[in-house]
Amino acid sequence: MILGLGVDLVFVPDFARQLEVPGTRFLEVFTGAERRAVERRVADRRVDSGGSAADHYAARWAAKEAFIKAWSVAIAGQAPPIAPSDVVWQEIEVYSDAWSRPLLRLHGAVAREVTRTLGPLSGSTGQKPGPADPKSGSTGQKPGPAEPNSGPADQESGSEFEIRIHLSMSHDGDAATATVIIEQV
């Protein structure tokens, strides 16, 4: 069942200007891993991603905003568990699986509050644990990066359901966009 849908669109030229402001700290909303991923994509011309660093950062920013919107829809009728001004944006991290598909990894207060309000997050591949080894979270798929959304926060919800977060990002011309769907599994 779909719990929430969020979409965000970023006008890349304005976003790029914000990144270029002397003394800006805006890049600090991205984790070190996110910054390195952008640098690799821009440097690796074999990747058919095109775009500048601003394009890639704008898409990641759109993903973070789209996640907050999807979460807000999923908890409609409740006050936001984290005030918008208190969101630590690095706690919403965009990364890629082994096949370069974008995923979200939640950390800290964001992970704890999502688990408390919606239920625990499913494993790294976005799939429920397979029958081969349900305790390990193994899905029989090629492993991706370290398990996201795992740890103590996963155990704090009394929900019998898990949630899965789906992410799609794109950039073209002056626009970068992201869509996030939060699904109950």
Least confident of 6-20, 65-79, 154-168, 169-183: 154-168
Q: Looking at domain 2-184, which of 3.90.470.20, 3.30.590.20, 3.10.20.30, 3.20.20.60 is its CATH number?
A: 3.90.470.20
Residue ranges per structural domain of the chain: 2-184
Residue 96's SS3 state is strand
All residues at 6 or more sequence positions from 36 whose CB lies less than 8 Å from its CB, including other chains: none
Tell the residue number behind the tokens 């979409």, with chain if given: 7
Long-range Cβ pairs for the range 33-40 (8 Å, 24+): 33/93, 33/95, 34/60, 34/93, 34/94, 34/95, 37/94, 37/95, 37/96
Look at residue 153 in the predicted model and tell me its pLDDT. Answer: 38
- Residue ranges of the annotated binding site are 8, 65
- Which pair of structure tokens corresponds to residue 19? 């990144």
What is the pLDDT confidence band of residue 157, given thresholds at 50, 70 and 90? low
Encode pLDDT of 12-63 as tens digits.
999 999 999 998 999 999 999 999 999 998 988 665 567 899 999 999 999 9
- Residue ranges of the annotated binding site for Mg(2+) are 8, 65
Encode pLDDT of 83-131 as tens digits.
999 999 999 999 999 999 999 999 999 999 999 999 999 874 343 333 3
Tell the residue number behind the tokens 């370069």, with chain if given: 100
What is the pLDDT confidence band of residue 137, given thresholds at 50, 70 and 90? very low
Look at residue 159 in the predicted model and tell me its pLDDT. Answer: 64
Query: How much is the pTM?
Result: 0.80
Look at residue 158 in the predicted model and tell me its pLDDT. Answer: 54
**How many Cα neighbours within 13 Å face the side chain of 146?**
8
